[in-house]
Amino acid sequence: MNEFDLIQSYFASAGAHRSDVPVGVGDDCALLQIPAGAKLAVSIDTMVSGVHFLPDCDPEALGHKCLAVGLSDLAAMGAEPAWATLALTLPRVDSAWLRAFSAGFSTLALEHGVALVGGDTTRGPLSISVQVHGLVSTGYGLRRSGARPGDLVFVSGTLGDAGLALQRMQAGDRVADWLRTRLERPTPRVALGAALYGLATAMIDVSDGLAADLGHILRASAVAADVHLRDLPLSSEVAAYVSATGDWSLPLAFGDDYELCFTLSPQRIADLRALASHFDCPLRVVGRLRYGSGLRCVMPDGAPWHSEQAGFDHFAGDE
Ligand code: ADP
Ligand code: MG
């Protein structure tokens, strides 16, 4: 199988077919029709074998996750997903692996109406980059910089599940299916993100841990936050882990949660309530913003929580 056959077999018709793609896979560039007045929201993420996933991980889940992380970025901007490109570096051609990977990617792409419009395929150590493109039809998207003192801080879903799953897998322990799913097949909160556009004052997706990601909102908005850790939304497994160990780093600093963290004026609570009934993921108030800078996390016993590792940083310690 040559490179052309590989692209034809596994990627030429992956994802949704969209009428706004006059030229997709097969030419030097894809051509995309952007509606008049809309803004293009663009984001790229790379996943490297041995860094972001284990080399023997389920290729179907990997195909899902490498797109899900990009869709989570679009969600956090309130953008509507439209197109994706995929740069794939493979050590060898493995048909079973490619079939599963492309199925995982394509299923999630179809769910969100995303067309795979191009990419690049090369030989080398396994690495996957996905660029996602979405549309913001009015305004400038839901940015990190709009939060105000007095706003409430919300988090969707639960935090720390992916971290607990990885910890158990690395220890060779049994991992419940739902917990493994939280790590390997995250659900990007796309519809929620779009619904919060015009309602929330600032938003980010939690990919590096709540402490680091809420920290980005605080810096961009020049505000401070108080978060009471007893209010964090935790699954019963993560809650049990935290109460057994006293270690809050899974929900605060591990990451890979792909939930949304957003801020909201208290005056808009009723509007949020009306909207929340349409979504099956819980939305929880975890804190409040005030004048100042920095994040203050208070443990249930009243003591402050200090992060040893506030979010994953690939280059921490360099130079
Ligand atoms: P070029 O040499 O002009 O960059 P390529 O041979 O790399 O073209 O790719 C041929 C076509 O296949 C292009 O349209 C490209 O976007 C697409 N393509 C290559 N790899 C992938 C992939 N992994 N997924 C989707 N489309 C791909
Ligand atoms: Mg190329």
Tell me the C-alpha distance between 218 and 238, whole Å: 26
Q: What residue ranges define each of the domains in the chain, with the CATH number in brackets?
A: 3-136 (3.30.1330.10), 152-298 (3.90.650.10)
Q: What is the mean pLDDT of residues 21-44?
A: 97
At 60-97, the pLDDT tens digits run 999 999 999 999 999 999 999 999 999 999 999 999 99
Give the rounded percent of residues in the chain with a pLDDT score beyond 70.
97
Under 8 Å between Cβ of 198 and 284: no
Residue 308: what pLDDT?
61
Whether the pLDDT of residue 276 is over 90: the answer is no
Lookup result for tokens 């991980």: 57
Give the pLDDT confidence score for residue 316 in this predicted structure. Answer: 66
pLDDT in tens, 156-192: 999 999 999 999 999 999 999 999 999 999 999 999 9
Q: Is the pLDDT of residue 229 over 80?
A: yes
CA 10/CA 63 separation, integer angstroms = 12
Ligand 1 atom nearest residue 87's Cα: 23
**Pairing, β 224-228 against β 294-298:** parallel
The C-alpha atoms of residue 304 and residue 289 are separated, in whole angstroms, by 17
How many DSSP H helices and E strands does the chain contain?
10, 11
Q: Say which ligand is closest to the CA of 28.
A: 1
Mean pLDDT of 94-114: 97
Q: Token digits for 234?
A: 């935790």
Structure tokens of 262? 């957003």
Who lines ligand 1 at CB under 6 A? 7, 11, 25-28, 86, 88, 116, 118-121
Task: Measure the CA–CA gap between 86 and 15, rounded to whole angstroms.
Answer: 12
pLDDT exceeds cutoff 60 at 312: no
